[in-house]
Amino acid sequence: MELKSGILSFFLILVLLGTNGCTRKFEGETLVFTEELVFVSGEILRVTGRVVAPGEVDLDDHGFEISQDESFANPIVISLGEQNIPGLFIAEYTGLSITTDYYVRAYIVNSGTTFYGENVQFITLEPFLRTASPLYHDPQGLVKIRGKNFTTDTRVFFGEVEAELISNKFESILDVRAPQPRENEYLVPIKVISGGKEMTFEDSFEYVIGRWTTESDEFPGSKSFGRHAYFVAEDKLYTGFQRDSNNPDQLSFWVYDPSVGNWDEQPFQGSFVRNPAKFDGGFLGGETGAAFGVYFMSNEFWVVRNGQFELEGILPFQSHRSVAFREGDDLYVFGGWGAEPNVYLDTVWKYNFGSREWIEFDRTPFDLYNLNPSFRHDGMMYFISSERILFRYDPTTKTWTEMGEYPGSLVTSGVAVVIGETAIVGQASSDRAIYEYNIEANTWKRKVPTPLTHPLDIALSVWVLDDRYFTLRSNGVGLRSPKLWEFEPFELY
C-alpha cells in the first residue's frame, strides 16, 4: 500500500458512545464504517468514518484508503494512527486528479488484523472560470479571478506571459498580479491552467498604457510663466504671454519647433489678455484686467501668417473664456463669460475667413466656457458641461446631442486634444488623471496619469501636432519652472 504523508492534513473528531464515556469493558464485536463524504473538489477529499464498539478499543491503526480501482490494489493510505476510543473520525487529503473516479473506504487494524468499511465511490470535480476583474488595469496591478475547484498547481497567463499567483483562496478566488506585457501586446487573453485543464476567459484583458517623456527640460521664458494663450500654427507650438522685465509693454510668445527641438521668442504687438478663445492658427478676445468686480475685455482677433502675428479684425462682441474651433474657412466661437463675473453668454458666433464677416449663428443649451474640456473631430464639436455631461454639436444641422457622462474630474482648466479617432481628455487643474475617449464607440477608459513632479503641477499649454501630444506643465507652486512633455497615449509606460 502507498502511504501519502507529505501532502496529508487531517483532524480527528471523537464521539463517545453510551453513558459514562463508554469506559466499561465487556465482550462484543468492533466495527468500522465509511460514513460520509463531507467535501469533494478538484483535488481535495474530506471523509468521515466511524468505529462502533461496546466499550473501549485498542486499535493499532485506523484511517482511510483511496484508490482509482475498486480492488484497492495500490491505494493511497491516510493513516490516523492508534485509537482506544470508538466514535467518529475525519480526514482530509489533497492531491487527487480532477474529473477522476475514485473509491474510498475506512479501515481499522485490530490485533494485527485489518477490517474495512464499505467502498464509497466519488468523482473529483472539474475546475471552471466565472469572472476576472478588473479587465483594464496597469502592469503589476492586482486582478481577482473567481471560479471553482482551482488546484494547488494552478497557473495564470496574460497572453503568453505568466502572472504571479499571490493566493488561491478556498479553491475559488485567485489573486494574481498582472505581468509586464510583451511589446505591442496590450490586449491579451487571460488563461488559467488548473489540474492540467486549460481555460481561457472570453473577454480579454487590456493594459492601461501611455508614456510620458521629457521633450524640453528648460523653458526659456519667465519662471513664473502663466497659462494664457496657446495654439498650433504653421507646424509650430505657440504659447504666451511673456512680458519683458525691462520693458513691461513689450509682449512676446514662445514658439517651439518639434522638428529641431528649440524655443524661439516671437514679438507680439497686441494687448496682454487672459483666457482668450484659442484655435488652430490664433486666438481672440479675452480679459485685459478687472476692477470693482467688472472685467475689461479685449476685442482683438489675432492670427499667425508666415510666422508673424496679424490682426485679423475687431470682434463685434466681447467675451472671455469662450471656446473656438476652426473648420475650413469658418471659425465658430461658443459662449464664454461677459464683463461681469459668472455671467454666461449663450451665443454661438460664426466667422468666415474669406468674407471676413461675423454672424450670430446659434445658441448654446448650457453654460459653456473654456475651463471645461472641449474638442473637434470630423466636423463635429464636443463639449463637457459643468455637470460632466459630454455634448456633441453638429454645426450643419445646429443640433446638440447628449453623449453620456465624462468619468473624470472637472476641478477647473481641463483640456482635450484629438489624435486620430481618439480624444485625450484630462489634466484638470492639479488632477493627474487622463482619459481616452473612443469617438466612434462613445466609450471612455483611463490612461496613464501625468508625471508627478509636484502635487500642485498644472498644464499651462497643450498641443497636438502630427498626432504628437505636447504639454507644458508647471513645476510646483506659483507655476514655476515649466517643463515641456510629450505624451504617447498608445505606448506602454
Average pLDDT for 352-372? 95
Range among 4-18, 84-98, 281-295 with highest mean pLDDT value = 84-98
Q: What is the pLDDT of residue 483?
A: 86
Domain ranges of the chain: 2-123, 128-206, 211-488
Check whether 209 has a pLDDT greater than 60: yes
What pLDDT is stored for residue 247 in this prediction?
A: 64
Q: Minimal CA–CA distance to 237: which of 452, 417, 383, 420? A: 417
CATH number for the segment(s) 128-206:
2.60.40.10
Considering the chain, what percentage of its residues have pLDDT values greater than 70? Answer: 89
* Topology alike, domains 2-123 and 211-488: no
pLDDT at 163 over 70: yes
User: Cα angle at 234 between 465 and 468, to 5 degrees?
Assistant: 5
Any idea which of 222-226, 401-405, 468-472 has the lowest mean pLDDT?
A: 222-226
Domain 2-123 matching CATH 2.40.50.180: the answer reads no
Could you tell me the strand order of the sheet in which 282-284 lies? 277-279, 282-284, 300-305, 308-314
pLDDT digits (tens, 9 = 90+) for 94-136: 999 999 999 999 999 999 999 999 999 999 999 999 999 999 9
Cell readout for 232 is: 498650433
Band (421; pLDDT cuts 50, 70, 90): very high
pLDDT score at 27 = 45
What pLDDT is stored for residue 213 in this prediction?
93
Q: Mean per-residue pLDDT for 340-369? A: 93
Torsion angles phi and psi, residue 20, rounded to 5: 60, 30
Once rounded to an integer, what is the mean pLDDT over residues 150-155?
96
Provide CB contacts within 8 A for 428, sequence distance 6+.
373, 408, 409, 410, 411, 412, 413, 414, 415
Residue 224: per-residue pLDDT: 52
CA distances, 2 to each of 37, 105, 106, 400 (Å) = 21, 15, 15, 77
pLDDT surpassing 60 at residue 26: no
Q: Which option is the CATH number for 211-488: 2.102.10.10, 1.10.150.110, 2.120.10.80, 3.30.450.20? A: 2.120.10.80
Average the pLDDT over 369-386 and give the result: 94
pLDDT tens digits along 454-464: 767 788 889 99
Q: Which three cell numbers stand for residue 236?
A: 509650430
The whole-number average pLDDT for the span 224-240 is 84
The pLDDT of residue 482 is above 90: no
For all residues of the chain together, what is the average pLDDT? 88
- Residue 392: name the closest of 423, 350, 433 by CA: 423
Does the structure show a pLDDT above 60 at 3? no
Cα–Cα nearest to 488, from 260, 261, 243, 212: 212
Confidence band (pLDDT; 50, 70, 90) for 392? very high
Longest dimension (CA), the chain: 120
Average pLDDT over residues 240-260: 80
Q: What is the 3-state secondary structure (H, E, C) of the chain?
A: CEECCCCEEEECCCCCCCHHHHCCCCCCCCEEEEEEEEEECCCEEEEEEEEECCCCCCEEEEEEEEECCCCCCCCEEEECCCECCCEEEEEEEECCCCCCEEEEEEEEEECCEEEECCCEEEECCCCEEEEEECCEECCCCEEEEEEECCCCCCEEEECCEECEEEEEECCCEEEEECCCCCCCCCEECEEEEECCEEEECCCCEEECCCEEEEEECCCCCCCCCCCCEEEEECCEEEEEEEECCCCCCCEEEEEEECCCCEEEEEEECCCCCECCEEECCEEECCEEEEECCEEEECCEEEEEECCEEEEEEECCCCCECCEEEEECCEEEEECCECCCCCCECCEEEEEECCCCEEEEEEECCCCCCCCCCEEEECCEEEEECCCCEEEEEECCCCEEEEEEECCCCCCCCCEEEEECCEEEEECCCCCCCEEEEECCCCEEEECCCCCCCCCCCCEEEEEEECCEEEEEECCCCCCCCCEEEEEECCCCC
Query: What proportion of the chain, given as a percentage, has pLDDT over 90?
Result: 72
